[in-house]
Structure 1
Amino acid sequence: MSRQPGTSVSPSVNGISSLDNIVNGDWALYAGVEFGDSTEYVKQPDSLQIIASCASAGGTVEVWLDSIDTGTKIAQCDIGNTGSWTTYDTFTTRVLAPVSGNHDIYLRFKGSGSSKLFMLQWLKFTDSAHPETTPIKSPSGQIPEHFELGQNFPNPFNPTTAISYKLSALSSVTLKVYDVLGRKVETLVDTRENAGNHFVTFNGDKLASGVYFYTLEAGGVTLRKKMVLIK
């Protein structure tokens, strides 16, 4: 991905890189996206998911094929306040036009004023219909009522996938991945974390295809879900 001067990639929560310092008028480019490559981008997606954080009034992400203004605008997603720059929510919007083949994907960021709009951590085209732009985690800025472990996305995956979880209180947290024989293959989180929404990525590049389980332990609660790695 290339970026206009004025935006930058910097370390963020859980060591994941974010597109930071985004202000009104900035843009970013994902070059050579092949829609129909099942390991990365689905063919004919109908929705777009964006994970972002925001401690300001927020703004809008416009998504264009091949060029801004003269290309095809395929999506527009509003990013709202998530409570802090380290609290990430997932925002979903529908894709407005058919998409297939190889394209350069341009993102244009819009908002009011000259201050920082939001931090963009991750985006993904999907084939699951979501007709409205809405957070799919807990409401922005609110503390979750329960400990929750989200289903990884995408699933199946190759080789990386995102795992989200919610904490209702300051807790000692572990998030570990196991194979079908119960052997631990990786510890993703082992620390104390504040209440709120959390997000981490898992890279199965060195693992064989198959079924794996990830287990969250926090606040005396143990939660487990299954994911599938297909290479």
Structure 2
Amino acid sequence: VRDIHEWQTTSWDHPQMTQLFQSMADLEHVRFSAYRTAMKSRRVQKALCLDLLELAMAQGVFDQHQLSHNGHLLEVPGIIRCLFTIYTELQQVHPDMINMPLCVDLCLNWLLNVYDRDRSGKVQVLSMKIGLLSLSKGHLEDKYKYLFNQVAGSAGVCNSRQLALLLQTTIQIPHQLGEAAAFGGSNVEPSVRSCFQHVSKITVSVLPRPSAAPNA
């Protein structure tokens, strides 16, 4: 794995990461932004072998490393330890598909590019979870439920601030792919307002109507 101090003090990119993003130039001809973003994401997913990562396996690794405080900052050594565990487990299932040093290097490189553009050497726990799970294998509904629960309160309810945090963290992925503008850019407030206005309309529509007054 690339020397930890180098990751903390430079904006070094793995040559294969550089090559990966240069190769995405051939996707710019794709007309619709949603398709183009999906194709770019898929290319990153395959390069990092995260298409092999099951949601349950990822959850188990997060629990093993006691990553329950989503607001905490993980330094590079902590990120590497978590990634090493993930790829060790994947290697046991797919021994011919996992190059351990390369996968850890590339995934660390990608996480830092997405969530630590200033190269402080730290990534928030929530950011790492969202990054890894967004590219993991599994049903979208299961991912949505898990990620919602990561920002929701103890009662399982998500307020506007928490939803904004989830969207703001998630939008960093298309931002790094050069596609954030197609999804509203970095300003997630209109999406948050729209979501809660929609929820309010649904709530009002299902409220019981007052019964008619009895005839005199």
TM beyond 0.5: no
Point out the structure with the larger helix share. Answer: 2
Q: TM-score scaled to structure 2, two decimals?
A: 0.22
Point out the structure with the larger strand share. Answer: 1
Larger Rg: 2
Q: TM-score scaled to structure 1, two decimals?
A: 0.21
Of structures 1 and 2, the one with the larger relative CO (CA 8 A, separation 6+) is 2
